[in-house]
Structure 1
Amino acid sequence: MSSQLEKSIESIITSQTDVNNKLDQLLKLEKQNRLKEHADQKDSMLILESIHKLLSSCNQNDKLIETLEILIKKHGQFKQNIFDFVVLIIESLAEVEQLNKLIPILDNKIYLELAYCKLVDKIADSYIEKKELHKAYDSISKLDLENVNTIDLDLKLSILIKQMKLCNQLKKYEDTIIYSKKIIPKQIFKFKHLKEKFEREYYLLLIEVYNDSNDYYKIGSTLNLMIDSDPEFKEDELIDCINFLIFSDYDTHLNISLLSSLQKQNKDLIKLIEVKKLLDSFLSKDLIFADEKKSLIVEGKYSFQKPKFDDHVKVFNLKIIEHNIRVISTYYENIRIERLIELLNIDSKSVNVEGVIMDMINNNQITAKINRPLGIINFVPYGNDNKNIITQWTDNLELLLNHIDVIDNLIEKEKIVHGI
């Protein structure tokens, strides 16, 4: 770096002339440096920093933006210097109106795409601070991060999470899902700093979406992922995980597999006596009696909370009925519907037992036939036909894969403990 250049800059800055005159002299100095045979990148950056310092200190931000627009058009500029100059300007501007003036200047310039992302991110933050969420969403939703090759993962995730959060706040849940698919947890959260910084918020935002649409299995399975990846998870998250998996459609490969795994693997259930009782009851081969239902309801952060409390109680009661029917199907070959209602201890006027049984048959929870004229249900044990052989094979395969996942998690924990 030329000491002569430093003296020239100092002389201009400390002169008694006005700001415009000083700027003209600095721009003239910049042009001389740029056009000389062996232009120096460091010297060029020093001049740009001096221009920024001069105009910022005098609160001449509009002039600073105009100067940037002029310099970008000049041939022979060092692109890295212009990039750094742009970043300096973005960091120094506070007014969202001035930040918006930079958008057309930076747009469609590949070497400034990262600066453009930082600019839009700051604009969105400014709108969020002012509670102008629609404007924040409109600005940040224009970013297509897939085509930004120079962006680092930290900034990319920060923007994607912000996009998801804004979508949730504006009830644009379909857009949340679109943005969430741009994050691949297994690839991204294997990096410790990204996992610690973003993983939890990412999953919580998805749970908000699933909770709105009553997608119980996705809520439960997402919470299960959080519990598996975070040893310091909250108790109400484990409660919600179990509740929502119970609310889910019965499937031995999905919710029942996860519930069984939690029952066997999760040591924290010992501290949550009521939740353990619920899980043990639901996975047992015993009937759950009517007087037990209230004691099995355990509130979580999302489950059994207003405004969905009544819906959750209704679903929970249905799952208890389904559980009891599955249990009865293992002990009875046939049973009268009146006797089944008596055993279930339910009000036949409020619950269509026959309809519940038909749904369970259609969903492969039980195999049965209903003789309506006689009012008898015939429970048919699973045979050894090809369909059931395939079902047993997939059950065994699912069990094997679960064991592999558990072993993989244990190996990872050992690696972390021993610093391998």
Structure 2
Amino acid sequence: MRNLSISWLQVRLCLDRQDYVRAQILSRKISPRVFDADTSKDKRKPKEGDNMVQEAPADVPSLLELKRIYYELMIRYYSHNNDYLEICRCYKSIYEIPSIKEDPAKWTPILRKICWFLVLAPHDPMQSSLLNATLEDKNLSEIPNFRLLLKQVVTMEVIQWTKLWEFFKDEYENEKNLLGGALGTKAAEDLKLRIIEHNILVVSKYYSRITLKRLADLLCLSLQGGREAYLGHGELKGPDCEDRQTDGDRVLPDSPGQQRGA
């Protein structure tokens, strides 16, 4: 336990000095699995060679307190390069600490942060899995605006960025108590980018061809912005995009004999 305490102090010192390379190296000395140990269930005298976490001395934080400290430090580390998914996973680990999950005053702000960083994280299987798991959390009903935010992201419908930003702007700007710093301009730009990526995925589901003008309208962008978004997200396998002004989109049918309007 004392070794854990020394390790996190070393990591914190490196982060304070903005020595992120050394902070990462030192953080690897701490295995997150050690925080899952439950010393209360096994009071037998350990045998030689047993890998057990001993009860903390009076001057050393408890195991769960060390867990919280560790993940708070890792949030600071991942924040320096805006690794939103890892930040989210760290907050998720803090959220699961019993003393936090049993106290609404503690878990509510953490669950809000989990939601923000889920939406900020690029779409991939792990992000999708965490997002759906969070939507099943009963506590989310206590912060309905954030449940709505996650529901919008998982629903295959175009999200109007201007309307979403108008609705959530105050919530976003009030989210200041973050370990890596308040959500700022960079995160706001990334949030818009995530919505654009979501919308391109939606468009690719319903359209086989689309005009640049129509795509830009759906993405709430200028023609130039629409072109850049399309070219910049080719890996999302969007529809063929025609650079012309007429709205002659050809739409994939929802079912045989039926077509969905633009």
Q: TM-score range by the shorter chain?
A: 0.7 to 0.9
In structure 2, do the counterparts of structure 1 residues 237 and 379 end up closer, same or farther at CA, with 3 Å as the change threshold? farther
Which of 252, 270, 273 is equivalent to 2:144? Answer: 273
How far, CA to CA, are the matches of 1:377 and 1:188 in structure 2? 55
Report the equivalent of 1:187: 34
Report the equivalent of 1:221: 89
In structure 2, do the counterparts of structure 1 residues 305 and 348 end up closer, same or farther at CA, with 3 Å as the change threshold? farther
Matches within 5 A, 1:349-368: 349=224, 352-362=225-235, 365-368=236-239
Report the equivalent of 1:176: 23
Report if aligned partners of 1:333, 1:378 keep a CA contact under 8 Å in 2.
yes
Q: Which moved more, 1:157-166 or 1:240-249?
A: 240-249
In structure 2, do the counterparts of structure 1 residues 183 and 330 end up closer, same or farther at CA, with 3 Å as the change threshold? same
* Displacement after TM superposition at 1:168 (Å): 1.5
How far, CA to CA, are the matches of 1:292 and 1:348 in structure 2? 21
Determine which structure has the larger helix proportion and give its number: 1
Which of 4, 8, 11 is equivalent to 1:164? Answer: 11
How far, CA to CA, are the matches of 2:10 and 2:220 in structure 1? 49
Report the equivalent of 2:156: 285
How far, CA to CA, are the matches of 1:332 and 1:304 in structure 2? 40
**Is 2:125 the counterpart of 1:262?**
no
Offset from partner CA, 1:154-192 (integer Å, 9 cap, x none): 110111111111111111122221111111111343235
Report if aligned partners of 2:78, 2:86 keep a CA contact under 8 Å in 1.
yes
Report if aligned partners of 2:75, 2:179 keep a CA contact under 8 Å in 1.
no
Report if aligned partners of 1:334, 1:379 keep a CA contact under 8 Å in 2.
yes
* Displacement after TM superposition at 1:368 (Å): 3.5
Which of 311, 331, 336 is equivalent to 2:206? Answer: 331
4+ long deviations beyond 6 Å: 373-381
Offset from partner CA, 1:318-356 (integer Å, 9 cap, x none): 21122222222222221111012123332345xx32332
Matches within 5 A, 1:226-265: 226-230=94-98, 231-232=101-102, 233-251=106-124, 253-264=125-136
How far, CA to CA, are the matches of 2:233 and 2:112 in structure 1? 26
In structure 2, do the counterparts of structure 1 residues 378 and 257 end up closer, same or farther at CA, with 3 Å as the change threshold? farther
Report the equivalent of 2:256: none
Report if aligned partners of 1:160, 1:179 keep a CA contact under 8 Å in 2.
yes
How far, CA to CA, are the matches of 1:331 and 1:164 in structure 2? 49
In structure 2, do the counterparts of structure 1 residues 373 and 292 end up closer, same or farther at CA, with 3 Å as the change threshold? closer
Which of 173, 184, 204 is equivalent to 2:72? Answer: 204
How far, CA to CA, are the matches of 1:304 and 1:202 in structure 2? 14
In structure 2, do the counterparts of structure 1 residues 200 and 337 end up closer, same or farther at CA, with 3 Å as the change threshold? same
The DSSP-based 3-state class of the residue aligned with 1:334 is: strand
Task: Give me the TM-score of the superposition, normalised by structure 2.
Answer: 0.74
How far, CA to CA, are the matches of 1:173 and 1:304 in structure 2? 13
Report if aligned partners of 1:361, 1:368 keep a CA contact under 8 Å in 2.
no
In structure 2, do the counterparts of structure 1 residues 373 and 285 end up closer, same or farther at CA, with 3 Å as the change threshold? closer
Residue type of the alignment partner of 1:180: S
Q: Which moved more, 1:274-283 or 1:368-377?
A: 368-377
Aligned Cα root-mean-square deviation (Å): 2.9
Aligned-pair identity in percent equals 24
Task: Give me the TM-score of the superposition, normalised by structure 1.
Answer: 0.48
How far, CA to CA, are the matches of 2:138 and 2:198 in structure 1? 25
How far, CA to CA, are the matches of 2:77 and 2:214 in structure 1? 42
* Displacement after TM superposition at 1:260 (Å): 0.9
How far, CA to CA, are the matches of 1:366 and 1:278 in structure 2? 25
Which blocks of at least 5 consecutive residues in structure 1 are unaligned?
1-153, 382-420
How far, CA to CA, are the matches of 1:190 and 1:359 in structure 2? 45
In structure 2, do the counterparts of structure 1 residues 176 and 267 end up closer, same or farther at CA, with 3 Å as the change threshold? same
* Displacement after TM superposition at 1:227 (Å): 2.0
**Is 2:178 the counterpart of 1:302?**
yes
How far, CA to CA, are the matches of 1:341 and 1:371 in structure 2? 12
The DSSP-based 3-state class of the residue aligned with 1:254 is: helix
Report the equivalent of 1:140: none
Higher RCO (C-alpha 8 Å, min separation 6): 2
How far, CA to CA, are the matches of 2:86 and 2:151 in structure 1? 22
Report if aligned partners of 1:189, 1:199 keep a CA contact under 8 Å in 2.
no
